[in-house]
């Protein structure tokens, strides 16, 4: 379950105009941050249900329009996920479902292990992400990282340690935009967008640790720049 983008009104500048005219101007005044939350439910091998809440944020910036020197536009770009917001919304959900507030706070305080992971080269020469935790915890954290980054998770197979995802490479999209704004392609209105490709994110146990690899849609090892970018995004969330 995923919310829409919600404006963070706390970031609106308190100018004398907004203070004078109050809520009327606030409703028309743009904000510079937006937040979205995703709640995921997953069955456990013992028959229980685990609940994950992940946060995604965007911030508005002024940027130069591609291909037009001196031109400026307003655009949105991702900002880092906020673990404190995730914990707070999870606490509120626990309280809503009947857990006493003091107990919920205590449970969440003890459930924040050190996040450690490292990018390494596998025996086949391809990059992999080593997570210094056993499989069960690594599986949960990788799923949460995929939610935070905003991957489309089409399916998952916990027994095989496999997430089936779709991902559109932003570097390919940037290259498409540069081409679209070039002199030869400027008048083409049918320029196709970059298609989100299918990948598999494989989590496997390695003694007391776990490894994460990116495979193509057929399950073969991926060594492309896109696979390295996916691992880097996951590493940012897991380290």
Task: Write out pLDDT tens, residues 108-152.
Answer: 887 655 557 899 888 888 899 999 999 998 999 999 899 888 888
pLDDT band of 65, cuts 50, 70, 90: very low
Q: What's the half-sphere exposure (Cβ side, CA atoms, 13 Å) at 239?
A: 10
Q: State residue 115's pLDDT score.
A: 57
Alpha carbon distances (Å) from 6 to 2, 87, 93, 196:
11, 18, 18, 25
CB 32 within 8 Å of CB 143: no
The reported pTM is: 0.57
Domains and CATH numbers, the chain: 1-81 (no CATH), 113-239 (3.30.310.170)
> Which range (14-28, 37-51, 169-183, 214-228) has the least confidence?
14-28
For the chain, percent of residues with pLDDT exceeding 70: 72
Average pLDDT value for the chain: 78
Q: State residue 27's pLDDT score.
A: 43
155 pLDDT more than 80: yes
> Facing residues of 53 across strands?
39
Nearest Cα residue to 204 out of 108, 110, 123: 123
Task: Using alpha carbons only, give the angle 66, 147, 118 rounded to the nearest 5 degrees.
Answer: 85
Across 228-233, average pLDDT: 91
4 pLDDT more than 80: yes
Pick 185 or 170 by higher pLDDT. 170
């Amino acid at each position: 379950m995923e919310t829409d983008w919600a404006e963070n009104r706390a970031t609106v500048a308190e100018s004398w105009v907004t203070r004078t005219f109050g809520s009327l101007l606030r409703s028309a005044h743009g904000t510079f941050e937006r937040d979205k939350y995703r709640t995921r439910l997953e069955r456990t091998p013992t028959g229980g249900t685990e609940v994950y809440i992940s946060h995604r944020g965007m911030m508005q910036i002024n940027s130069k329009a591609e291909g037009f020197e001196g031109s400026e536009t307003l655009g949105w770009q991702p900002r880092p996920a906020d673990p404190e917001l995730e914990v707070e919304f999870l606490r509120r959900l626990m309280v809503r479902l009947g857990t006493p507030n003091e107990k919920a706070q205590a449970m969440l305080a003890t459930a924040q292990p050190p996040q450690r992971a490292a990018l390494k080269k596998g025996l086949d020469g391809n990059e992999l992400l080593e997570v210094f935790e056993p499989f069960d915890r690594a599986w949960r954290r990788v799923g949460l990282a995929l939610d935070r980054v905003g991957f489309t998770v089409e399916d998952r197979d916990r027994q095989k340690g496999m997430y089936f995802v779709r991902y559109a490479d932003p570097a390919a999209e940037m290259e498409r935009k540069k081409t679209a704004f070039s002199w030869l392609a400027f008048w083409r209105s049918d320029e196709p967008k970059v298609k989100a490709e299918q990948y598999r994110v494989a989590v496997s146990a390695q003694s007391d640790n776990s490894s994460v690899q990116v495979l193509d849609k057929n399950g073969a090892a991926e060594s492309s720049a896109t696979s390295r970018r996916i691992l880097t995004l996951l590493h940012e969330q897991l380290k």
